[in-house]
Structure 1
């Protein structure tokens, strides 16, 4: 793994700080590459080379929180981390993922809708593998991969944003419904 040059790391930190400040002040819709570059004191070309586009910048903003979340379910304390029964871990994982998604919903909405399969890969793959592993422990005879997709689907940013903002569904209701689905898998 190649280490990031010191000046590149400094520019990355300035860019992300500027982007976070813009999102805090204007929301995700107010995030423009030109404004971020100007606020960070770097060229727009630097921003595009580094992040590709707004969705790449959104993923970079999401990254720190994402790393914390993945660390919690991979090596953190139970019930989210190892040491709890599979059903308790799966429930804790779905609840934590729901909360985590709501925390950065607008950034995730932008990132997940950048292309037809933008949601998949990276973090989704980690979530899917983790949940499929827990489901396989609960129900060795089940199609754990398809069931993991079914449990993750309600937490897609576009669907969650729609349900919460247009339909008035609260996150506790979403978590409860996911718990009901999970209960149906427990023998």
Structure 2
């Protein structure tokens, strides 16, 4: 997905700017959210899968992705590694004692 956002960054930024919250109501977003929430629930049944799916999808918000690429100078591989680290942490949360944050 990082590659997709990178390849279509300008178009996605334009779409985001015209209707900032519109992406969350779209059928593709809902489908991605359901898929990711399902995978999170399978990986770590004790976490709030819907919330974590929102957090993971937030990483692909065109504005944030563009900021990371242009202002921070991060390449797509760095972004992917960060997401891999986050997902590994979600997997590690399985069976961990629940502690307030």
TM range (shorter): 0.7 to 0.9
Q: How many residues align?
A: 91
1:159 aligns with 64
Determine the structure 1 residue equivalent to 2:98: none
Structure 1: distance between partners of 2:20 and 2:61: 13
Q: Which runs of 5+ in 2 are unaligned?
A: 95-101
TM score, norm. by length of structure 2 = 0.84
Q: 2:2 maps to what in 1?
A: 98
Match of 1:145 among 28, 36, 50: 50
Secondary structure of residue in 2 paired with 1:155: coil
Segments of structure 1 that go 5 or more residues without pairing to the other structure are 1-96
Q: Are 2:48 and 1:135 equivalent residues in the alignment?
A: no
Residues 95-151 of structure 1 deviation map (CA, whole Å, 9 limit, x = unaligned): xx1111111110011112212312212221111111000001111121000001111
- Which 4+ stretches in 1 moved above 3 angstroms? none
TM-score with structure 1 length normalisation?
A: 0.47
The alignment yields a C-alpha RMSD, in angstroms, of 1.0
CA contact (8 A) 1:164 1:170 kept: yes
Whether 1:118 aligns to 2:22 is: yes
Deviates more, 1:119-128 or 1:176-185: 119-128
Deviation digits for residues 29-78 of structure 1, max 9, x if unmatched? Answer: xxxxxxxxxxxxxxxxxxxxxxxxxxxxxxxxxxxxxxxxxxxxxxxxxx
Contact in 2 for aligned 1:113/1:119 (Cα 8 Å): no
Which is higher, the Rg of structure 1 or of structure 2? 1
Q: CA deviation at 1:165?
A: 0.9
Report the secondary structure of 1:142's partner residue. Answer: coil
Q: Name the residue aligned to 1:173.
A: 78
**Greater relative CO (CA pairs within 8 A, separation 6+):** 2
